[in-house]
């Protein structure tokens, strides 16, 4: 009895644990779904509020997803190092738990962050692995968007456009406006460096902005306003540029997204400088510099430091200019960016020359020239690589064209052979039909002849039978009846009775013989 009670108690506890675990999983999944939605619409602050709770959840599989969502949040807010760490935790956890879809997402996220950090070595490998694990249409689309960013960072603009075009085609197939906007904006970014009139670039950005739902993708709209403003600046329309930058600034004030805000304020600073308002330009530039320091966006920071140092020089604020130049040199040295090292040493030489430190100016100018030579060497190497790549591409296209020509010729020959065979078969069928028709006609004619002969034979036979019957009637029955008649006529009523009796009997026998003859003739008339 006690054993039975213990068994029942254990069963109840097991059921309760199962129900609790199932409820915990459902709660954790619901949290992740909410975070995913907030990340999707750019409301990362709300997503972050839920992430702390999600990362404390009991379900390990959903926790792997939570780390991926944390990576998305960190990346959207511009914290690249934190995003990379979260993606790697998600990847490690999902690999251990055999969750290929989450692993694929984490690998794609890792590749995206590495591009932002300027660490390009493993990007393509991670993207290939992501596609191998998840070949879904959405993952292919998102991988193409990251691939476009990668080729753009390598200044391979032809390949950039190919990747973004593939992403655009897939986004249209999925009818996803957000990804359509991202792909078109990426393509417009390439056009920006190639479009002399900027008309094409402007038209694309205006089309993109018309597609964006501002209630769902406000930060995306703000970034594209900034891009469109840069287009108007190049076109020499600063008032139009300022209008779009002000709109974007209002959006970033509300959303609080630091990367987009930094981008918009940097653009406003550039606009003020182009108008000759260098004090205002510096005021606008100070906040994006702080943002990029905080987020670790050192490549973008270089450009802002170079710009603000130029504005300090213009305003003769030499101490601030030197401070900006030194920070820029340190940043470029860490990044091993010879292009910006050339710019900063050249700017430092100018500053030293202005302040009268000619020895330092000469030293910095020599260093600037060394880095300039490195830049030219790098550019020559890239140019040679680009020419080599184009040559290889042309050779591949030539080989492909030749193969396509051979295939077309083979197809043509196959079509000719098939057509000839079809014509031959058709002719044979026609000949066969004609032969069969003639044979059938001959058979029909022969049959008609046979029928005619058969009918003639039947008629002739019938005539012979009728003649035979007529002869039998005439020669047999008629003669017998005639004999009977003569026998009866010979009877004399007044004569001897015996003789009369004999005559009648004789006549009766003749009548019997006539009946037999009639019966025989009747049998001859019966059909066989």
Contacts of 274 (CB under 8 A, 6+ apart): 233, 238
Three-class SS of 449-503: HHHHHHHHHHHHHHHHHHHHHHHHHHHHHHHHHHHHHHHHHCCCCCCCHHHHHHH
Say what the pLDDT of residue 452 is: 81
Q: What is the mean pLDDT of residues 72-95?
A: 92
Q: Is residue 443 part of a domain?
A: yes
The confidence band for 373, taking pLDDT boundaries of 50, 70 and 90, is confident
The rounded distance, in Å, linking the Cα atoms of 111 and 91 is 12
Give SS3 for 177: helix
Say what the pLDDT of residue 377 is: 58
Say what the pLDDT of residue 270 is: 93
Q: Could you tell me the residue range of the domain that residue 438 belongs to?
A: 425-525
Q: Which range is most confident: 138-142, 251-255, 393-397?
A: 138-142
Say what the pLDDT of residue 365 is: 87
Say what the pLDDT of residue 476 is: 65
Q: Is residue 47 part of a domain?
A: no
For the chain, give the mean pLDDT: 84
For 378-407, give one letter per residue: b (16+ CB within 10 A) or e.
Answer: eeeeeeeeeeeeeeeeeeeeeeeeeeeeee
Q: Is residue 23 part of a domain?
A: no
Question: Which of residues 385 and 104 earns the better pLDDT score?
Answer: 104
Q: Is residue 431 part of a domain?
A: yes
The rounded distance, in Å, linking the Cα atoms of 112 and 83 is 10
Tens of pLDDT, residue by residue over 288-303, are 999 999 988 888 899 9
Say what the pLDDT of residue 361 is: 87
Q: What is the mean pLDDT of residues 236-265?
A: 91
Tens of pLDDT, residue by residue over 93-112, are 999 999 999 999 999 999 99
In this model, does residue 1 exceed pLDDT 60? no
Give 219-236 as a DSSP string: HHHHHHHHHHHHHHHHTT
In this model, does residue 20 exceed pLDDT 50? no
Q: What is the mean pLDDT of residues 43-48?
A: 87
The rounded distance, in Å, linking the Cα atoms of 19 and 215 is 39
Q: Are 315 and 280 in contact (CB under 8 A)?
A: no
Tens of pLDDT, residue by residue over 153-179, are 888 889 999 999 999 999 999 999 889
Give SS3 for 197: coil
Number of domains observed in the structure of the chain: 1
Q: Is residue 475 part of a domain?
A: yes
Say what the pLDDT of residue 140 is: 95
Q: Is residue 370 part of a domain?
A: no
Tens of pLDDT, residue by residue over 197-250, are 899 999 998 888 888 877 778 888 899 999 999 999 999 999 999 999 999 999
Q: In terms of pTM, does the model score above 0.75? A: no
Neighbours of 45 (CB within 10 A): 13
Q: Is residue 432 part of a domain?
A: yes
């Amino acid at each position: 009895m006690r054993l039975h009670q213990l068994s029942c108690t254990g069963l109840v506890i097991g059921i309760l644990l199962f129900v609790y675990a199932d409820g915990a999983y459902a709660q954790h999944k619901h949290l992740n779904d909410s975070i995913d939605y907030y990340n999707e619409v750019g409301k990362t602050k709300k997503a972050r509020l839920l992430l702390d709770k999600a990362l404390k959840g009991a379900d390990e599989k959903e926790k792997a997803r939570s780390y991926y969502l944390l990576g998305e949040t960190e990346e959207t807010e511009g914290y690249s190092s934190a995003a990379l760490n979260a993606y790697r935790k998600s990847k490690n956890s999902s690999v251990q738990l055999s969750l290929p879809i989450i692993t694929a997402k984490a690998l794609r996220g890792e590749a995206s962050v590495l591009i932002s950090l300027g660490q390009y070595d493993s990007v393509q490998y991670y993207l290939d692995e992501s596609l191998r694990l998840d070949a879904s249409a959405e993952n292919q689309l998102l991988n193409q968007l990251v691939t476009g960013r990668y080729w753009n960072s390598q200044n391979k603009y032809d390949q950039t456009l190919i990747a973004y075009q593939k992403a655009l085609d897939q986004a249209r197939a999925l009818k996803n406006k957000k990804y359509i906007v991202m792909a078109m904006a990426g393509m417009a970014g390439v056009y920006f460096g190639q479009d002399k009139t900027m008309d094409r670039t402007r038209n694309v950005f205006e089309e993109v902005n018309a597609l964006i739902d501002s209630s769902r993708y406000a930060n995306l709209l703000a970034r594209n306003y900034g891009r469109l403003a840069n287009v108007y600046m190049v076109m020499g329309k600063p008032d139009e540029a300022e209008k779009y930058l002000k709109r974007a600034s209002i959006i970033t004030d509300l959303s609080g997204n630091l990367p987009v805000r930094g981008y918009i304020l940097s653009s406003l600073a550039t606009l003020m400088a182009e108008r000759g308002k260098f004090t205002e330009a510096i005021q606008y530039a100070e906040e994006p510099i702080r943002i990029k320091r905080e987020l670790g966006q050192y490549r973008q920071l270089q450009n802002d430091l170079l710009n603000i140092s130029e504005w300090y020089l213009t305003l003769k604020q030499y101490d601030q200019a030197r401070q900006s130049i030194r920070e820029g040199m340190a940043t470029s040295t860490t990044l091993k960016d010879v292009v910006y090292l050339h710019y900063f040493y050249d700017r430092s030489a100018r500053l030293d020359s202005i302040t009268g430190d000619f020895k330092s100016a000469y030293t910095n100018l020599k260093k600037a020239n060394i880095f300039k030579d490195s830049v030219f060497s790098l550019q020559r190497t890239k140019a040679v690589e680009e020419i080599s790549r184009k040559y290889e591409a042309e050779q591949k296209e030539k080989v492909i064209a030749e193969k396509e020509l051979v295939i077309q010729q083979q197809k043509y020959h196959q079509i000719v052979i098939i057509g000839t065979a079809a014509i031959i078969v058709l002719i044979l069928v026609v000949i066969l039909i004609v032969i069969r028709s003639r044979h059938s006609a001959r058979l029909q004619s022969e049959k008609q002849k046979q029928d005619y002969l058969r009918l003639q034979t039947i008629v002739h036979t019938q005539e012979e039978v009728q003649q035979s019957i007529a002869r039998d009637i005439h020669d047999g029955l008629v003669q017998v009846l005639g004999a009977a008649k003569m026998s009866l006529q010979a009877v004399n009523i007044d004569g001897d009775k015996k003789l009369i009796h004999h005559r009648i009997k004789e006549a009766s026998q003749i009548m019997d013989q006539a009946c037999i003859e009639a019966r025989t003739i009747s049998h001859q008339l019966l059909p066989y």
